[in-house]
Structure 1
Amino acid sequence: MSDPDTDKYRQQHKLRLSYMPWLYARLKPAQRHWAQAWQDEWQAYLMTMETISIGKNCFIAPEARLFAEPGRAIVIGDDSYIAADSVLHGPITLGNGVSINHHVSLDGGRKGIVIGDNTRIAAYSYAYAFNHGMEMTHLIKDQPVNSKGIRIGCDVWIGANTGIVDGVEIGDHAVVGMGSLVTKSVARFSKVAGNPARIIGSRNTEPNLLSSTHDVE
């Protein structure tokens, strides 16, 4: 028979992990044993029910909502975390070491959202890779929908309550300040903030210490 106190503790600890999933990697061996069994079961269910692939050592909160119909896959790299009350609708590709915090909303539209390795997206942020037409020839509900896709680079920090619109690319090592609305692409290493987001600084003080890809116009 299980210890009632242990059962209560585990339920509370599961909830804590769901909202603070970075704690999953810090669990002691005894805790990791039951937590990994819990996650293995939940992730197997997700991969059975949706078009989802999940890498090694990932944590996905059962309170998160992941939807991936055929042709709109969600791909999750190793060591990535998805916290409670997030909503992800594919196509979405997460690199390795990506952290999606609670109440984040991502919709890949037709062209998809791609997020690079070791990027952090803070709570209540959202990115929608589609847009509606606005011509007066049709009601808004009948307008055609278009999609360009969104790309977020490696080692990017998206601050809480940030919005990212369709067609935007955020370069490697960039930082987006809390409460920003990103309507144009952001160059690598840039610090941006505001509505609309504008450059307020740069992380590129020691460029030789960081690898990079291409500049974003």
Structure 2
Amino acid sequence: MSEVDPLLKYREQHKHRLNYMPWLYWSLKPKNRGWAEAWQQEYQDYLQAMETVEIGKNCFISPLAHIFAEPGRKIVIGDNSFIAADCTLHGPLDIGSEVAINHHCILDGGRVGIKLHDQVRIAAYCHLYAFDHGVDLEMPIYQQPVRSQGIEIEKDVWLGAHVGIKDGIHIGAHAVVGMNSMVTKNIEARSIVAGNPAKFIRYRD
């Protein structure tokens, strides 16, 4: 076997780790930073050639994420943001700087889109859907018109793991949504909410 085989195996495992824990990308040692940046540049160039995607500086996007942005459904990703493995993103999406989207999240912008302001942190398995079906009994649900009002999440919001956000929701800056919550109403700035449906607990300050 080649002398470089153990190194290559380690590198593949390191990539696998980064796919699911992207925050480690920014603390890589210099000996790993070079190949990691080249790996990311190659994938991000490919993604921008294949989809209607605009990627900022110093981002990490897992090649194991599923990113779809056909014309008219653009995805913009701000500087220093990351998207982990097994996420599914469908535009239109406007993602700010220093945004974290952890593994197995689903963001679908519907027609109007999802806007994530700077420093939004989204834990694993969150689902954000900026569209909804009608529920009239006169016809099957799949045949009914689909509405889209959009979702907006302001700066420094933290969504805990397994949070769901329905269409039309606005979450104010610095809010926190507890794990396993379903957000069905707008959330005030600086508030902490939790539950299904999510209810106010207290303000952060």
Q: What is the CA-CA distance between 1:84 and the residue it aligns to?
A: 0.1
Q: Report whether the alignment pairs 1:48 with 2:49.
A: yes
Q: Are the structure 2 counterparts of residues 10 and 141 from structure 1 closer, same or farther at C-alpha, using a change threshold of 3 Å?
A: same
* Aligned mates of 1:140, 1:118 — CA distance in 2: 37
Please give the per-residue CA displacement for 1:111-170, whole angstroms capped at 9, x wherever unaligned: 000001011000000000000001022111101000000000110000000000000000
Which residue pairs with 2:146 in the alignment? 145
Identity of aligned residues (%): 59
* Aligned mates of 2:7, 2:100 — CA distance in 1: 29
* Aligned mates of 1:132, 1:47 — CA distance in 2: 31
Instruction: Give the letter aligned to residue 94 of structure 2.
Output: T
Which residue pairs with 1:158 in the alignment? 159
Instruction: Give the letter aligned to residue 143 of structure 1.
Output: Q
Q: In structure 1, the residue corresponding to 2:35 is in which secondary structure?
A: helix
* Aligned mates of 1:43, 1:92 — CA distance in 2: 17
* Aligned mates of 2:96, 2:30 — CA distance in 1: 26
Please give the per-residue CA displacement for 1:72-124, whole angstroms capped at 9, x wherever unaligned: 00000000000000000000011000000000000000000000101100000
Q: Matches of residues 95-134 of structure 1 in structure 2 within 5 Å?
A: 95-134=96-135
Which residue pairs with 1:185 in the alignment? 186
Which residue pairs with 2:29 in the alignment? 28
Q: Report whether the alignment pairs 1:68 with 2:80.
A: no
Q: In structure 2, the residue corresponding to 1:127 is in which secondary structure?
A: strand
Q: In structure 1, the residue corresponding to 2:41 is in which secondary structure?
A: helix
* Aligned mates of 1:99, 1:78 — CA distance in 2: 11
* Aligned mates of 2:138, 2:4 — CA distance in 1: 66
Instruction: Give the letter aligned to residue 46 of structure 2.
Output: Y
TM-score scaled by length of structure 2: 0.98
* Aligned mates of 1:48, 1:106 — CA distance in 2: 21
Q: What is the CA-CA distance between 1:12 and the residue it aligns to?
A: 0.2
Instruction: Give the letter aligned to residue 35 of structure 1.
Output: A
Which residue pairs with 1:211 in the alignment? none
TM-score scaled by length of structure 1: 0.93
Q: Report whether the alignment pairs 1:3 with 2:4.
A: yes
* Aligned mates of 1:11, 1:202 — CA distance in 2: 44
Instruction: Give the letter aligned to residue 112 of structure 1.
Output: G
Instruction: Decide which moves more: 55-64 or 133-142.
Output: 133-142
Instruction: Give the letter aligned to residue 161 of structure 2.
Output: A
Q: What is the CA-CA distance between 1:60 and the residue it aligns to?
A: 0.3
Give the gaps of 5 or more residues in structure 2. Answer: none
Q: Which runs of 4+ in 1 moved over 2 A?
A: none
* Aligned mates of 2:120, 2:172 — CA distance in 1: 11
Q: In structure 2, the residue corresponding to 1:56 is in which secondary structure?
A: coil
* Aligned mates of 2:4, 2:102 — CA distance in 1: 32
* Aligned mates of 2:66, 2:202 — CA distance in 1: 35
Give the CA RMSD over aligned residues: 0.8
Which residue pairs with 1:214 in the alignment? none
Please give the per-residue CA displacement for 1:22-72, whole angstroms capped at 9, x wherever unaligned: 000000111010000000000000000000000000000000000001000
Q: In structure 2, the residue corresponding to 1:179 is in which secondary structure?
A: coil
* Aligned mates of 1:154, 1:132 — CA distance in 2: 29
Which residue pairs with 1:17 in the alignment? 18
